[in-house]
Amino acid sequence: MSHTVTRSAVAFLLLLSTTSFALAASVTNKDGAPVVLTVTEGGNRVEVVVDAGASERFCPSGCFMTTPDGDRIGLSGDETIEIVKGSAVIK
């Protein structure tokens, strides 16, 4: 019985982690060089590096993002963002 409970718990945790990122903001770097975004979420500040041509997901429940050109943008967590010439374009 404990193996069944353990498997169910693991499956539930995986579902939660997948669900939260499915609802997260998505950023794609259209520039030719990596960019560093500063993300502040729940009082925690982290730097997110997005390589040229790559995409990242973050901010599942709202945050602030500082773009390479210094703009600070409030996000709810469901946006699609492109970095073009160092600026954020929200779609």
Length of the chain: 91
> Tens digits of per-residue pLDDT, 8-52?
444 444 444 444 445 799 999 999 999 999 999 999 999 999 999
- Give me the number of domains the chain comprises: 1
CATH classification of the domain holding 14 = 2.60.40
Please state whether beta strands 87-90 and 80-84 pair in parallel, antiparallel, or not at all (unpaired).
antiparallel
Please report which confidence band the pLDDT of residue 65 belongs to, taking 50, 70 and 90 as the band edges.
Answer: very high
Which helix (H) or strand (E) is 83 found in, with range? strand 80-84
How far is residue 53's CA from residue 18's CA, in Å, rounded to a whole number?
Answer: 23
Q: What percent of the chain clears pLDDT 70, i.e. is strictly above it?
A: 76
The range of the structural domain enclosing residue 45 comes to 2-90
- Whole-prediction pTM: 0.72
